[in-house]
Every structure is written in C-alpha cells, then in structure tokens.
Amino acid sequence: MTALLVADALCRRYGSLAAVDRIDLRVTDGERHALIGPNGAGKTTLLDLIGGATRADSGRIRFAGRDITRLGPARRARLGIGRIHQRPAVWSSLSALDNVVVAGWKQAGGFRSAWTPGRFRSRVKAPGAALLDQVGLSGIASTAAAHLSHGQRRQLEIAMALAGRPRLLLLDEPAAGLSSVEVHRLAELLSELPRTVSVLLVEHRLDLVYALADTVTVLHDGRRVATGEPAEIRTSPAVRQAYAEAVR
C-alpha cells in the first residue's frame, strides 16, 4: 500500500536523554497504526514530532510525498494532519455544534464561501451536524461543551478533528479517563472512521489497541523494539522483555 507518512531516523534529545532515538515509522493510506510501550518510552514525543509541536534534532518526516520536517503544526494541519491530545481541547462556552463549525471553518472555505445564511447552513452548519451524528452527539448539538461529560468531550474533539478533513489523525491516549462503557463507545467510533483517514494512535489500553490496530509499533527507552501485526506483537519475546524491564 502507498505510504502516507514516512519518518526516517527521527531523533529528539533533552540534554543527555534520548526521548526518541533514530526511530523509523511508516503509516500507509487507511491504516490504523498503534504506538505502545511502557511509560517514558517516547510515544507522545514521537507523536509531537509528527504533529509539529516539537522539532526533531535530526531525521526526516515525509507526508503524502512532501518533506514536512521543518514545517510548524499549523502548516501540517493544513496539509491534512489532525491531532487529538490526552486532554480534550474544546471551547467550553460554545455549543457542541459551534465547536465543530469553528474547527471546520477554514476547510469549508471561510467567510467568503458562507457569507449568506443559506451558504452557511449548507457549507458549514449541515456538515458540522453530520459529524456530530457520526460521533453519536446529534442529540446534544445545542449543549454547551462545558456541560458535556469527559467522554462526550472526547467524542466532540474527534468530530472537531474530522471537520478539518484530515488524511492522518494523531490520537494521544484517547481512552484516558474514560469509563468501560465510554471506552467501548470510543472503540466503535474509531472502528467506523472512513479508511480515507489514516490513524496513528498512542494508547495504554492494549485491549483497545488490539481491537483497532492493523499494525503495532512498540517503543522502549526512545527506541523502536518491534513493529508487526497485533498477533505478532502479543507473542513477541522482545515486547515482553521491554515491559518487564520497565517495572523493575
């Protein structure tokens, strides 16, 4: 399959600590790729490097055939990289629908494309309502985000990210703080995302990872330990050793 994201020999150091140490990563079109590993393995740092929140000390990142290594997060977002952080980032005073409208405003063409009420409804509001329906929030479109549960805010943030029409969605521990019911709902939501959107997921819930991922990459001490299908990773001695070393 065609490679959408290719990272070659990425490095990021903080003093003497190599948070990411010459990591290679490949995500293909439509793939669900998970990053797992013990705490401090470098997972979030790697996600930050790909999203542009952190600059690599060395190495290269290519997205859709373009070198994006030196581009900032806003430029990468415009190229089609969406990001969801560990804590949901929504506008608390806005309704759920308005959050999605604001998130997708530029991709919908901005003010020039929606300067009449009719155009606003057809080009901005209606697509936003469709995204809320897609993530299971259509019944609370007019509710202020401040009044949503943590799980609902996570669903809303996914709708907001999709409003940006990403080709690659970066998810940093989306199940953090969710109840078992909410994790199940999240798994259903992510499994139903169209394959036009590739997903790179950092997650500690291995049951969620193995249910969703096509490919799993394991990190330990900033290095890549293994990459393979979930069935391979489950039984990998190198992976078991990495987790065992982390708890010594």
Structure-token pair, residue 16: 């003497």
Residue 134: count of CB within 10 angstroms of its CB: 17
Same domain? 100 vs 31: no
Residue 124 pLDDT exceeds 80: no
**Based on the domain organization, do 35 and 78 belong to the same domain?**
yes
Say if 162 falls within a structural domain: no
**Residue 47 to residue 64: CA distance in whole angstroms:** 17
Question: Do residue 77 and residue 179 come from a single domain?
Answer: yes
- Domain count within the chain: 2
Span 150-173, pLDDT tens digits = 889 999 999 999 988 999 999 999
What digits encode the pLDDT tens for the residues 37-80? Answer: 999 999 999 999 999 999 999 999 999 999 999 999 999 999 99
Do both 82 and 8 map to the same domain?
A: yes
Q: Where residue 198 sits, what CATH number does that domain have? A: 3.40.50.300
Residue 135 shares a structural domain with residue 173: no
Instruction: Quickly state the pLDDT bin for 246 (edges 50, 70, 90).
Output: low
- Regarding whether 191 and 139 lie in a shared domain, the answer is no
37 and 110 housed in the same domain: no
Q: How far apart are CA 178 and CA 245, in angstroms?
A: 28
DSSP code of 152?
H
- Both tokens of 248, joined, read 């010594």
Q: Which of 132, 127, 123 is nearest to 153 (CA)?
A: 132
Domain match, 237 and 179 both = yes
Do both 80 and 108 map to the same domain? no
Note whether 53 and 30 are same-domain residues: yes
Does some domain include residue 99? yes
The range of the structural domain enclosing residue 54 comes to: 3-87+168-246
Q: 41 and 26 in one domain?
A: yes
